[in-house]
Chain A
Amino acid sequence: MDINDLLKDLDSRVFGSADDDKDKEGDILALQKAWVSELTCPEILPYQDELLEQLRDRLDLQIEEIERQTAAESGTVTSDVKFSLLVIESEVERVRFLIRSYLRTRIAKLSRMDMHYARNTYNLSQEEIKFIRKRVELLSHLYDRQFNMRSWPENLKGLEDDTGGLSMVTVPDMNSPVIFKVVRPIEETVQLGDETIELMQDSIYAMRYSAVQKFIANGAVVML
C-alpha cells in the first residue's frame, strides 16, 4: 500500500462516504423489496416515485461516466479502465433490469384489471394514469365498433356491468394467498375465520393477502 492509497482510504473515512454508500445501498434494497411485493401482491401498491427518480438520476450519472471514460481513453484503453467500465456497465444493466421489471409488473397488473384501476388511481403514477385512461378509451371504441354496441339498448352497453352477480370488472383478489417473512415484532394477532394467529418474528407464512396487507405497508413483513 503506498501513500496515495493511505490518503484515499483516509479521505473516504473522514468524509463519510461509507454512510453515503449505505443510503445508496438502501435505495436499491428498497426498490428490490417494492419489486418483489409488486410481483406477489394481488393489488397495485404505492408507486415508488422518489426512489425511482433518485435511481434514474444515478443511472444517468453512471452512463455519463461510461461515455466520459470511453472517450478519454479511446485508443489507449488500459485493462484496468476496461475492467472498471465492465463493472459499471454490469451494474447499470442490473439496475435497469430492476426498474424495467418493476414498471412492467405494474403495467401487467394494470392491464389485467384495467376497468378497476381506471376508477381507482390512488397508487398510480401520472404516466400510469394516462396509460390506463387511454387503454380503457381504446377498448370501449373497439367494443363499440366490433360489436356495433352503439345500436344496443342503453342498459346493455355498459362494460362495467355486474348484473347476474357476474362482474365484468376484474378486481384484485384480496383473498389470494401470499408468502411473507416477519421481520419486525408484531403485537397484533391476525384473525382468520375462527383461528387467532400470532405472527412470530423471523417466521415465514403463507396466508391470504387481506390479513397481512397492513403489515406490508408498515414494513413489518417482507414478501417472498
Chain B
Amino acid sequence: MEHSAATVSYLAEEQLVSIVPRQSMDSITLIGRSMPALRPLVRQEVPLWLALLLKRHGKCSIVAPAWLDIENLKHIYEQEQANRNRFSELPEHWIETSELLLNEAADDISSEPHTIRALLQDLKEIRQSKAREGMGQLTSSYIQLDNLGRMEIHELRGFMTGIMRQLHKLDSFIEQPTSDYEDD
C-alpha cells in the first residue's frame, strides 16, 4: 500500500458536511459517528460518504460549503495573484470535495456548475505554478507548505521528497569529515 490519490479521497469522504433531508429516517447506529434521525428540512451534519449515499437515493440535498461559491472563488483567485509568496486559505480537502460534489450533487452546489468548475481549474493552475516556483527554493533541510491542500501535497510529494533526499546526500557527501548524519 502507499499513500495515493485514493487514500487522500478516502480521508476527504470522512469530513462532515451539512445536508437537508427530504424525508424522515430513524437514526442508524454505526461503528463511527452514528447517523442521526432525519426529519425533512431539518439540517444535519453527516460524513461526506454518507451524504453522497443519501443524495444518490434522493433522500437529501447537500448544503454547498460556503467556500464553494462563485464570488468567494473569484476572491481567492485574486488573492493568489496578489500574493506570489503564499497560498490562500482553502479547506485541506478542497480539491477532492469540490470534485465529488460537482460530480454527484451539482444541482445543490450552484446554478452555474460550469463557472465553478472553471474557477476551480484556474485556482489549481495558479497554485500549481506557485508551488513549482517554490520548489526552486528547496533545500535539504526543510520547506514550509502552509495552506496547501492534501491533494496538492500528494501531487508534490514524490518530486519534493526525492529532491530533498538527493540534496541531503550531497550535503553529507560534502560535509563528510564532520558529518553526524550517517553515523547510524
Give chain A's interface residues, CB within 8 Å of chain B: 1, 5, 8-9, 12, 17, 21, 24-25, 27-29, 32, 35-36, 39-40, 55, 58-59, 62, 65, 80, 83-84, 86-88, 90-92, 94-95, 97-98, 101, 104-105, 108, 174-179, 192-193, 195, 197, 202-208, 224
Please determine whether B165 and A206 come into contact, CB atoms closer than 8 angstroms.
no
Please determine whether B31 and A84 come into contact, CB atoms closer than 8 angstroms.
no
Report which residue of B3, B142, B146 has the largest number of chain A beta carbons within 10 angstroms of its beta carbon: B142
Which chain A positions have C-beta within 8 A of B143? Answer: 205-206
User: B27 contacts which of A12, A179, A192 (Cβ < 8 Å)?
Assistant: A12
Residue-wise interface mask of B (13-34) relative to A, using a CB-CB cutoff of 8 A (1 in contact, 0 not): 1100000000011111111111
User: Within the complex, what minimum Cβ distance (angstroms) separates A150 from chain B?
Assistant: 33
**B8-66 interface (Cβ within 8 A of A):** 10-11, 13-14, 24-35, 37, 39, 49-50, 53, 57, 59
In the bound assembly, the distance between CA atoms of A179 and B143 in angstroms comes to: 9
B168 at interface, CB cutoff 8 A: yes
Count of CB-CB pairs between chains A and B under 8 Å: 131
- Which B residue sits closest to A173, measured CB to CB? B165
User: B32 contacts which of A39, A91, A195, A205 (Cβ < 8 Å)?
Assistant: A91
Summarize B's interface: helix, strand, loop or mixed. Answer: loop
In the bound assembly, the distance between CA atoms of A192 and B145 in angstroms comes to: 17
- Which A residue sits closest to B148, measured CB to CB? A204
**B155-177 interface (Cβ within 8 A of A):** 157, 160-161, 164-165, 168, 171
Known contacts A59-B31, A95-B32; decide if A206 and B11 are in contact (CB<8 Å): no
Please determine whether B32 and A28 come into contact, CB atoms closer than 8 angstroms.
yes
**B121-138 interface (Cβ within 8 A of A):** none
Please determine whether B25 and A80 come into contact, CB atoms closer than 8 angstroms.
yes
Please determine whether B25 and A177 come into contact, CB atoms closer than 8 angstroms.
no
In the bound assembly, the distance between CA atoms of A202 and B160 in angstroms comes to: 20
User: Within the complex, what minimum Cβ distance (angstroms) separates B179 from chain A?
Assistant: 10
B7 at interface, CB cutoff 8 A: yes
In the bound assembly, the distance between CA atoms of A108 and B3 in angstroms comes to: 13
User: B142 contacts which of A5, A202, A206 (Cβ < 8 Å)?
Assistant: A206
Please determine whether A224 and B165 come into contact, CB atoms closer than 8 angstroms.
no
Please determine whether B146 and A206 come into contact, CB atoms closer than 8 angstroms.
no
Known contacts A80-B25, A175-B181, A177-B160; decide if A62 and B165 are in contact (CB<8 Å): no
Residue-wise interface mask of B (75-114) relative to A, using a CB-CB cutoff of 8 A (1 in contact, 0 not): 0000000000000000000000000000000000000000
Please determine whether B27 and A105 come into contact, CB atoms closer than 8 angstroms.
no
Which chain A positions have C-beta within 8 A of B26? Answer: 8, 80, 84
Please determine whether B1 and A104 come into contact, CB atoms closer than 8 angstroms.
yes
Q: List 19 A-B contacts (CB under 8 A).
A: A8-B37, A9-B37, A24-B30, A24-B33, A35-B7, A39-B3, A58-B31, A80-B26, A84-B28, A90-B49, A91-B30, A95-B31, A175-B168, A179-B145, A193-B141, A205-B142, A207-B141, A208-B141, A224-B153
